[in-house]
Amino acid sequence: MTRFFGIEVIMVMGITDIDDKIIKRANEMNISPVALARIYEEDFKQDMAALKVLPPTVYMRVTDNIPQIISFIKTIIASGQAYATSQGNVYFDVKSWGKRYGVLTTIYPDTQDEVVGTDKRHGKDFALWKAAKPQELSWTSPWGKGRPGWHIECSTISSAVFGKQLDIHTGGIDLAFPHHENEIAQCEVYHQCEQWGNYFLHSGHLHVKGSQEKMSKSLKNFITIKDFLKKFSSDQFRMFCLRSRYSSVEFSDDTMDDAKHLLQAISSFIRDANAYIKGQLVCDPVREDILWERLANTKVTVKAAFADDFDTSRAVAAIMDLIHHGNRQLKAVTKDAGSPRSSVVYGSIISYIEGFFNALGMSFGERQVALGGDNSAVLSNVIDELVRFRAKVRHYALALPEEADAVPMEGVVAAEGAKQEQKEKRQQLIQERKPLLEACDSLRGDLAAFGIHIKDRAAVSTWEIEEGGQVGQQTKKKS
């Protein structure tokens, strides 16, 4: 949206770090629910980074917003759309919201639903606050110790950042009801507004080809991102996604092979076009007028496709059509007839294609050597280990004793003597470890020549492959 339409995007991602499943799993592992949630959170962030998914503007954890959630619930109760029970639970009164409930999925409250084995007034009422169970993580509230319900956390977090108006809410199609429906009801009560969210963008399930079942952990028909990236690259994954509408994605070896072949075709065209621009590829005279027209039409088609509910499949098809017409005129000839070369039009086409894919987190051409498949994963792991080893050596070389650490407090003379001794020891260690630091700097300089840039930070060293590098993935890794 930013690159193609110039719209500044502020994205907030909510992190549910306390719920029934987390509590159950934490009890099984004999660790705190918050600690377990942090483990999964970091694992998720690493997977997203490996796929080159841009992080949100801000992450918001539920457990960091408990006071705000409690205040949000109190406002809904005061508005008459929620009630507390004697058992310490708080529910949203769906029936009291009437026909305004169900605006997203057209599911309306049934006045005849029965309540069995619960302290709800009506069956469709949903929890805003859950009373604490024995030995369960909880927070103090006006209704007793407990924790937030599932839906209220998202409403509170989004409202804390965006206020009473949200432009786009994203999520899986399975969240449309009841989660997003309940979020809308909560927010419209809290903000007393007619429309809280302008658009809901629901992504479809990832299906295994030939099966009606979605890929999920419960069905044991899934592949982890880490295992996936051992076989495919992040660029191949992105192309696979771009070839489908976000509302319906089907995974198979055939669809992944299709993605790989498209990437190879794009890289091949960019290499040939660059060779033509440099005079390394001699061709017959080029019909510039046709290529300029094709380029202009492609830009219009791509923008229209993205404006049409993010139709990435149509946008990629337009790019491939442009490449097809560009290739048709790059016919090599054996003898140079001295015809003028049309470098500018091919330079413009390359610039547009690379800009298109760079905006989508991919890179091509001379800026990239496509390693593909297992080789990409192996290269990434090798660089990981190399940077990790270098970081250990560097940290050792820099780990000098503090001057004041060994200074005794008894007597000025003794203190001065200890200071001098400590200073001399530090100087000796600096000289002894200087070659190690020089070797670390030398390695960093050597890798930079291949586009692999190491950045030394306070606690860790990170590496990234710059667009101008010679290795196949522009990515970041932390060691």
The confidence band for 376, taking pLDDT boundaries of 50, 70 and 90, is: low
Q: Contact, 13 vs 56, CB < 8 A?
A: yes
The average pLDDT across 400-417 equals: 60
Among 120, 123, 173, 130, CA closest to 151: 130
Q: How far is Cα 141 from Cα 120, in angstroms, rounded to an integer?
A: 19
Q: Is 108 helix (H, G, I), strand (E, B) or coil?
A: coil
Q: Kindly compute the dihedral angle of the four CA atoms of residues 439, 442, 448, 450, in this order, to the nearest 10 degrees.
A: -90
pTM: 0.72
Examine the pLDDT at 410 and tell me if it is beyond 50. yes
User: Is the predicted pLDDT of residue 263 greater than 70, yes or no?
Assistant: yes
Q: What share of the chain has pLDDT > 70, as a percent?
A: 87
Q: What is the pLDDT of residue 475?
A: 41
CB contact set of 248 (below 8 Å; sequence gap of 6+): 204, 207
Residues 6+ apart with CB under 8 A from 377: 229, 230, 231
Q: What is the DSSP letter of 110?
A: -
Supply the pLDDT for residue 8: 94
Mean pLDDT of the chain: 87
At residue 460 the predicted structure's pLDDT band, cuts being 50, 70 and 90, is low
Of 74-83, 122-131, 357-366, where does mean pLDDT reach its minimum? 357-366
Tally of CB atoms within 10 A around 30: 6
The tens digit of pLDDT for each residue in 74-125 reads: 999 999 999 999 999 999 999 999 888 999 988 776 645 666 678 999 999 9
What per-residue confidence (pLDDT) applies to 309? Answer: 94
- The confidence band for 364, taking pLDDT boundaries of 50, 70 and 90, is confident
Burial class (CB in 10 A: 0-12, 13-18, 19+), 78: exposed
Lowest mean pLDDT among 289-298, 304-313, 385-394, 463-472: 463-472
Q: Are 18 and 137 in contact (CB under 8 A)?
A: yes
pLDDT in tens, 169-216: 999 999 999 999 999 999 999 999 999 999 999 999 888 876 777 787
> CA-CA distances (angstroms) from residue 176 to 17, 63, 93, 125?
21, 24, 19, 17
Average the pLDDT over 329-339 and give the result: 74
CA 263 to mean position of chain CA atoms: 22
Adjacent-strand bridge partners of 463: 454, 477
| pLDDT: which is higher, 332 or 374 | 332
Gyration radius of the chain over CA positions: 29
Greater confidence (337 vs 181) lies with 181
- For residue 331, pLDDT over 60 is answered with yes
Cis, peptide link before residue 178, omega less than 30° from 0: yes
pLDDT score, position 369: 38
Q: Is the pLDDT of residue 413 over 70?
A: no
319: confidence class by pLDDT, cuts 50, 70, 90:
very high
- Least confident residue range of 186-195, 263-272, 379-388: 379-388
pLDDT at 218 over 90: no
* Confidence (pLDDT) at 168: 96
Assigned token pair, 6: 């110039």
pLDDT band at 275 (very low <50, low <70, confident <90, very high): confident
Please report the pLDDT score of residue 135 as a whole number: 87
pLDDT of residue 34: 93
- Calculate mean pLDDT across residues 129-139: 94
The average pLDDT across 361-389 equals: 68
